[in-house]
Structure 1
Amino acid sequence: MLDKQPLHLHSHRTRINRFRSDSLLFKPKRPQSRWHRFWRYYFWRLVRQKGTPEFLARGLAAGVFAGLFPLFGVQTILGVALAMLLRGNKWMAVVGTWISNPLTSGPIFLLNFQVGQWLLQSHEVFDMERLKSTTALLEVGADFVFILFVGCLVMATLSAFLSYFLGIKLIRRWRTLHRGWRRRHHSGQ
Structure 2
Amino acid sequence: MPRKFIRRFLPDHQKIREQRALAVFGTLLHDANLWHLNRRSAAGAFGIGLFFAFWPVPFQMWLAAALAIPCRVNLPLSVATVWITNPLTMPPMFYGAYLVGVFALGEEIQSFAFELSWDWVVQSISTIGPAFLVGCGICAIVAGLAGYFGMNLLWRWSVVRHWNKRRAQRKSASSDS
Superposed displacement of residue 126, structure 1: 5.4
Partner of 1:101: 86
Work out the CA distance in 2 between the residues paired with 1:135 and 1:93.
34
2:132 to 137, 148, 152: 148
Matched to 1:60, the amino acid is F
Distance 1:166 1:133, change over 3 A: farther
Q: How many percent identity over aligned positions?
A: 24
1:113 partnered with 2:98: yes
2:47 to 61, 83, 103: 61
Superposed displacement of residue 94, structure 1: 1.2
The structure richer in helix per residue is 2
Q: Is the CA contact 2:101–2:135 (under 8 Å) kept in the aligned structure 1?
A: yes
Question: What 5-or-longer segments of structure 2 have no aligned partner?
Answer: 1-5, 13-34, 170-177
Q: Is the CA contact 2:46–2:77 (under 8 Å) kept in the aligned structure 1?
A: yes
Q: Is the CA contact 1:110–1:126 (under 8 Å) kept in the aligned structure 2?
A: no
Distance 1:173 1:111, change over 3 A: same
CA offset digits 1:163-183 (Å, max 9, x no partner): 1011122234556778979xx
Q: Which structure's CA Rg is the greater one?
A: 1
Work out the CA distance in 1 between the residues paired with 2:61 and 2:119.
18
Q: TM-score, normalised by structure 2?
A: 0.63
Distance 1:163 1:150, change over 3 A: same
Give the secondary-structure state (helix, strand or coil) at the position aligned to 2:107: coil
Partner of 1:80: 65
Give the secondary-structure state (helix, strand or coil) at the position aligned to 1:141: helix
Distance 1:176 1:70, change over 3 A: same
Work out the CA distance in 2 between the residues paired with 1:140 and 1:74.
22
Partner of 2:107: 122
CA offset digits 1:32-66 (Å, max 9, x no partner): xxxxxxxxxx9626399624311221111111110
CA offset digits 1:78-100 (Å, max 9, x no partner): 11122224332211111211221
Distance 1:75 1:126, change over 3 A: farther
RMSD value over aligned CA atoms?
3.4
Distance 1:121 1:58, change over 3 A: same
Name which structure has the greater RCO, CA cutoff 8 Å, separation 6+: 2
Number of corresponding residues:
139
Q: TM-score, normalised by structure 1?
A: 0.59
Matched to 1:167, the amino acid is M
Work out the CA distance in 2 between the residues paired with 1:118 and 1:78.
28
Distance 1:168 1:138, change over 3 A: farther
Matched to 2:63, the amino acid is L
Work out the CA distance in 2 between the residues paired with 1:127 and 1:60.
33
Q: Is the CA contact 1:68–1:99 (under 8 Å) kept in the aligned structure 2?
A: no
Superposed displacement of residue 110, structure 1: 0.9
